[in-house]
Amino acid sequence: MTADLTPDDKDAMAAEYALGLLSGDDFAQAQHLATTDRGFAQSVTNWEIRLATLTDELEPEKPNPASKKELLAKLFPNPKPTSFWERVWVWQAAGALSLLLLAVVLVIDFAGQPTATGPLYTAEIVTEAGDFRVVAVLDKSTDEVFLTRTAGAAPEGRILQVWAHGEGEPAISVGLWSEGDTIRLPLPQTIAAVEGVLTLGVSEEPPGGSLTGSPSGRVFGTIDITGVTGRI
């Protein structure tokens, strides 16, 4: 189908797609190209960038303050997020058990001895599509996090970077994960001090890590670990 489109035709179609002018077969073809043809997807983005400047002269309007309150209430109805375990039991009790086993194996493997001096938390970071999975074990006895990749990887020429934050805090880098299926990272002091909800995330970054102090590449996912307490 696409073979009979000249580059100019393709770019025109990308513009029409960005404008939302296509319908029927043309729309279906463009939608297919947008998900399969990098060049076409890039043309669509380029058109979106060009066309967005049509809004340059629009002066900002002050939104109704109630609008923000309503939005935040809609998005964050329950200040305390559902715990990992509550979610896990619903869909994968067996999986949870294997996580726990893995956690024990990991701790023994890494620390050389079973630890019983501090709380241990397990969590899994998964993309929406499930094509990337990391099992995380947070060991508060040593303030370290163990991570194991069970699916997916950073794209060619990129590395993984691990992030964490406490509730309402900015996320900071826990460390780089350049190679290997497993890694052990000591928690930065601010993260080790977090009590309550501790959020872990993984992103893909250029070698050497993000230059901005925040994720600069795709964030694969995040997970909230609830009820985190300090060392015993």
Partner 1 sequence: MTAEQRDEIEALIAQVALGNQTAFSHLYEATSGKLLAVCLRVLNERAAAEDAMQEVYVKVWSKADRYQVTGHSPMTWLITIARNTAIDRLRSRKIDRNIADYSERIAEPGPSPEQSAVAASESRRIVACLDELEADRRAAITGAYLDGKSYKDLSEQFAVPLNTMRTWLRRGLSDLRECMSR
Min. distance of Cβ 105 from partner 1 in angstroms?
28
Q: Which is closer to partner 1, CB of 62 or CB of 91? A: 62
Q: Which is closer to partner 1, CB of 48 or CB of 143? A: 48
Between residue 69 and residue 128, which ones bind partner 1 under the rule CB under 8 A? 70-72, 74-76
64-72, 88-96, 113-121, 176-184 -> range binding partner 1 (CB under 8 A): 64-72
Min. distance of Cβ 150 from partner 1 in angstroms?
19
* C-alpha closest to that of 180 among 145, 219, 136, 149: 149
- The alpha carbon of residue 160 and the mean position of all alpha carbons in its chain are separated, in whole angstroms, by 11
12-20, 132-140, 175-183, 185-193 -> range binding partner 1 (CB under 8 A): 12-20
Residue 32 is classified by DSSP as H
Min. distance of Cβ 17 from partner 1 in angstroms?
5
Q: Which of 95, 98, 130, 170 binds partner 1 (CB under 8 A)?
A: 170
* Residue 5 makes contact with partner 1 by CB under 8 A: no
Between residue 17 and residue 56, which ones bind partner 1 under the rule CB under 8 A? 17-21, 23, 27, 30-31, 34-38, 41-42, 44-56
At which residue do the structure tokens 């190209």 appear?
33
* Residue 151 makes contact with partner 1 by CB under 8 A: no
* Chain length of the chain: 232
Beta-strand ranges (E) seen in the chain are 120-126, 133-139, 144-151, 159-166, 172-177, 182-186, 196-205, 219-228
Q: Which of 60, 77, 112, 114 binds partner 1 (CB under 8 A)?
A: 60
Burial 180-219 (b: 16+ CB within 10 A, else e): eeebbbebeeebbebeebbbbbbbbbeeebbeeeebebeb
Residue by residue, DSSP assigns 116-180 as -SS-EEEEEEE-TTSS-EEEEEEETTTTEEEEEEEE--PPTT-EEEEEEEETTSPPEEEEEE-SS
Q: Which of 3, 4, 7, 58 binds partner 1 (CB under 8 A)?
A: 58
Q: Are 83 and 227 in contact (CB under 8 A)?
A: yes
9-17, 93-101, 109-117, 144-152 -> range binding partner 1 (CB under 8 A): 9-17
Between residue 189 and residue 208, which ones bind partner 1 under the rule CB under 8 A? 199, 201, 203-204, 206
* Residue 216 makes contact with partner 1 by CB under 8 A: yes
Contacts of 159 (CB under 8 A, 6+ apart): 176, 177, 178, 179, 204, 205, 206, 207, 208, 209
Q: Which is closer to partner 1, CB of 41 or CB of 192? A: 41
Q: Which is closer to partner 1, CB of 124 or CB of 204? A: 204
